[in-house]
Amino acid sequence: MLNAVLVMLVVGGLMGLVLGVASIVFHVEIDNRIDQVISMLPGINCGGCGYAGCKGMAEALVSQDTNTVSLCKPSKMDAKIKIAEYLNSTPGPDGKVLNVKP
Ligand code: SF4
């Protein structure tokens, strides 16, 4: 009985160690600006911008794959301006702001 408990403790400790190391090695930096931009886009997910839905467009803007919010035709001009102002004034994880046009 004691051997079984010891084996379970050792196996549990090793699994915890493996998971801890994996969480450090495979850590992905999340850019919170993507979620904020998604909330400012229309949310229609029509694909008219050329990206896979509004999330794709937000990721493209934040990654600078495009710097033009006007690719989103359904978005109103005041929303485009807000998105551009937000991205031009909010630094990402690297501490840099973007250069985005409405
Ligand atoms: S065009 Fe605008 S509403 Fe349509 S998927 Fe692209 S970002 Fe979303």
Q: What is the CATH number of the domain that holds 72?
A: 1.10.15.40
Query: Is there a single domain that holds both residue 45 and residue 67?
Result: yes
**Cα 50 to ligand 1 centroid, rounded to whole Å:** 8
Atom number, ligand 1, closest to the C-alpha of residue 47: 5
What are the CA-CA distances from residue 44 to residues 39, 47, 52, 57 (Å)?
Answer: 11, 8, 11, 12
Q: In this structure, which residue's CA is closest to atom 3 in ligand 1?
A: 44
In a structure prediction context, what are the per-residue pLDDT tens digits for the chain, which is 102 residues long?
889 999 999 999 999 999 999 999 999 888 999 999 999 999 999 999 999 999 999 999 999 999 999 999 999 999 999 999 999 999 999 999 999 999
Atom number, ligand 1, closest to the C-alpha of residue 75: 2
Q: What is the DSSP string of 69-99?
A: GGG-TTS-HHHHHHHHHHHHHS--TTS----
If DSSP codes are grouped into helix, strand and coil, which group holds residue 11?
helix
List the domain range (segments joined by +) for residue 1. Answer: 1-29
Query: Is there a single domain that holds both residue 20 and residue 52?
Result: no
Exposure of 41 by Cβ count < 10 A (0-12 exposed, 13-18 middle, 19+ buried)?
buried
Atom number, ligand 1, closest to the C-alpha of residue 41: 7
* pLDDT at position 62: 97
* pLDDT at position 28: 85
Query: Is there a single domain that holds both residue 83 and residue 43?
Result: yes
* pLDDT at position 30: 85
